[in-house]
Chain A
């Protein structure tokens, strides 16, 4: 009986006072309390409560900007939150403690239940007396003698998938049904361990990060290739894969009202040796995969090709990735210009040029004319405004190519530059803007535990259905001679879903009665 195994209430007053408990006894007590249903219940509710905290306080990796603003505006509160791990609830020690205890409790509960289940499968149902004292009881008279009658009852029960024991010399049967309930419940609960294995294995051996790739460029999967930080698993010993992706073209389409319609990266995947494998279209919801590495469409941006000549000698030439400032509330990102930087560190004094790109120049002119901003859905006569600075780039402190620190610089020229144009900015420098390209942002990740997680989810669901919707039923039949025929006494009960069993019981009794009728005669 499952509840006798697991749902046993704690025997708190078992005659021991705490100081006199031996270590063994205290361990036993802890173990017993861990496997009580009440503990499981409390732990489940605690887990929910912890998750509530995680949804109310901004989390690292999810809303970093909000965390930064809390640190700025409420430093004390931020420090307390930080100490308590509230900015990283799901990685905090107390969250780990809650779910670990839950899993230990689960294991402590499942082991004896599984043992009991195995025992239960091995042993057939046991005979019982006092059938008429059972919750459901009925008598039917049949015209056949007891042995035949009991065989008839047996075949009815077998047909209804009862496990039947008997008749063993005596005209009586013991039957039961519904082991699927407990089996399903065990499968469901055990699946959580499989789920955990899948999660830990996948995260531990996986990685994920963002790749920024300009049209026409090839990107190689390696630690240094990622844009910003890359999350790498603890057991990532074989490091990265070296697979490559060559982006031919990126296309974003919008409806006339500015609602996005489609984002596609047309690309070619190459294996680690650089051999082309296949061409793919990567869209939102449609990732591409090679060697377990998946590429997801994440975002895009603009990358003007910029060429700088110094006294006629090219000193810079190539696409420059432009980015947007954080988008203020109530403004569409499509209305904002794109910023990028070209640093010319070989010149003395050093020169840095900050660009502001308007992919659709009408947006810039509308803004200048009317003060209204307008969404830039497609490329249209792109234009860049620029400011050129001279001085010290402080390359030792500012390592990012996208950041220009103008603190120790002085601006010496500014202006605008249309696509296909060149401009002389002084100091012998000519800047030209021959072409505008797009870049795509792909989320790149590998999770080799995915199929384990998926399998666990399927098993979990498969176990849940019988655990909730079937019930354990027990039934006994005895036959006694009665004149020329016999009387069958049927008793039984269900451990769950009792109201349904009432109907089932009546139906079984009717069917058992009918087998007798059909066999009338010798």
Chain B
């Protein structure tokens, strides 16, 4: 098939993906509010459809360009969101059996995809020589993989902060006379068994909107701890690539600098979790600062700050 045909399939499947995620997001939020199982199932189905068609969109994009589809920011966004959804389905819904976070994750994904298609889109094309390196493929893939996990971790961290605030407020109020959510307390660790996040009692209780803060905290930590070595590996392979392309492994170019900043902040986050007085909310705030830094690394450096990397353009 010709390059144009592949390119068309890629855009068509992108559209399918976008609307499938959008619909799934609405379904997930509906489930969050009203806890109708069939709605959750439908949303899960739509998410899977979206993921599948996004996979096709990525592959056909690669076929249209005649290379691995990680050459520009449009393609980065496509792979990033693909991995976020994959990690969400696999790790959050799958391993941890937490079902109520899909809407938030998909909201982030949908916005990222919208930005990609509206502002970052470029047609499929071959790469310029400097970008055509084996190490670069490994570097970019690991950076995007860990970005997706970090993004997921940070979305969950935001929800943790919201929930933690609510739990604190509720704890200082007199207990409800009847119904309400079970109190997981600080002594009992959450065990990630099926439905550990499902509140007992009135399904529409506002308290039950999100999993317990402790569950969210643990989940977020896992994502970030999973992502951190991959980010480290990504920086190392990036340095190897830079060495072979420009004769220096580190040159403080803006993209390098920002990936270092992000790395340092998340190292700070991991430390904070082991420092008394910094656990919980303070660590969460560091993770959010790390998230902002991640977004800057990902978008702002390419779009506004110039450097060697930025001839990758958008």
List A residues at the B interface (Cβ < 8 Å).
Answer: 3, 7, 9, 37-38, 40-41, 44-45, 47-48, 51-52, 54-56, 59, 62-63, 90, 208, 255, 259-263, 283-287, 294, 296, 298, 443-445, 447, 450, 453-454, 457, 460-461, 464-465, 468-469, 498-499, 502
B265 within 8 A of A: yes
In the bound complex, residues from chain B placing their C-beta under 8 Å from that of A263 are: 129
Residue of B nearest to A286 (CB): B244
A16 vs B238: C-alpha distance when bound (angstroms): 50
Interface-forming stretch among B41-49, B85-93, B108-116, B274-282? B274-282
Q: Are A55 and B247 in contact (CB under 8 A)?
A: no
Q: In the assembled complex, how far is the CB of residue A29 from the closest CB belonging to chain B, in whole angstroms?
A: 19
In this assembly, does B128 line the interface, its C-beta being within 8 Å of a C-beta of chain A? yes
CB distance from A33 to the nearest CB of B (A): 13
- Compute how far the CA of A498 lies from the CA of B192 in the bound complex, rounded to whole angstroms: 12
**Beta-carbon contact of B130 and A445 below 8 Å:** no
A-B CB contact pairs (8 Å), 14 listed: A9-B276, A41-B275, A44-B268, A47-B264, A48-B264, A48-B293, A62-B307, A63-B306, A90-B252, A284-B129, A286-B244, A457-B239, A498-B189, A499-B191
B264 proximity list for chain A (CB < 8 A): 44-45, 47-48, 51
Contacts of A54 in B (CB 8 A): 252, 257
Q: Are A296 and B245 in contact (CB under 8 A)?
A: yes
Closest chain A residue to B272 by CB distance? A41
- A468→B229 CA distance, assembly (Å): 9
Alpha-carbon distance A465/B253, docked complex (angstroms): 28
User: Do A62 and B274 have beta carbons less than 8 Å apart?
Assistant: no
Taken residue by residue from 286 to 307, chain B's Cβ proximity to chain A (1 for < 8 Å, 0 otherwise) reads as 1000000100000001000111
Nearest CB on A from B248, distance (A): 7
Give the residues in chain B near A443, CB-CB below 8 Å: 246-247
Partner of B128, one of A259, A461, A499: A259
Q: Does B56 contact A (CB under 8 A)?
A: no
Contacting A296 at CB < 8 Å: which of B128, B247, B270, B272? B247
Chain B's nearest CB lies how many Å from the CB of A98? 11
Closest CB of chain A to B164's CB: distance in Å? Answer: 19
- Min distance, Cβ B41 to any Cβ of chain A, angstroms: 27
CA distance A7 to B276 in the complex (A): 8
Known pairs A259-B126, A465-B229; A445 contacts B248 (CB<8 A) = yes
Q: Given A9-B276, A62-B307, A296-B245, is A464 in contact with B229 using a C-beta cutoff of 8 Å?
A: yes
A51 touching B261, Cβ below 8 Å = yes
Bin the interface of chain B by size: 35 or more
Where the two chains meet, the residues of B that have a C-beta atom closer than 8 Å to any C-beta of A are: 125-126, 128-130, 132-133, 189-192, 218, 225, 228-229, 232-233, 236, 239-241, 243-249, 251-254, 257-258, 260-261, 264-265, 267-268, 270-272, 274-278, 286, 293, 301, 305-307
Report yes or no: A41 in contact with B229, Cβ–Cβ below 8 A. no
Check if A55 sits within 8 Å of B257, measured CB to CB. Answer: yes
Check if B191 sits within 8 Å of A48, measured CB to CB: no
Contacts of B232 in A (CB 8 A): 460-461, 464
Distance between A467 CB and nearest chain B CB, rounded to angstroms: 9
- Indicate if the CB atoms of B275 and A48 lie closer than 8 Å: no
Given the complex, which residues of A lie within 8 Å of B277, measured CB to CB?
Answer: 9, 38
Given contacts A37-B274, A465-B229, 14 further A-B contacts (CB under 8 A): A45-B264, A55-B254, A59-B252, A261-B129, A262-B129, A263-B129, A284-B129, A287-B247, A294-B247, A454-B240, A457-B236, A464-B228, A468-B225, A498-B189
Q: Does the CB pair B132–A7 fall under 8 Å? A: no
Across-interface contacts of A444 in B (CB, < 8 A): 247
Bound together, the chains give a CA A90 to CA B271 distance in angstroms of 24
Report yes or no: B260 in contact with A51, Cβ–Cβ below 8 A.
yes
Q: What are the residues of chain A within 8 A of B260 when measuring CB–CB?
A: 48, 51
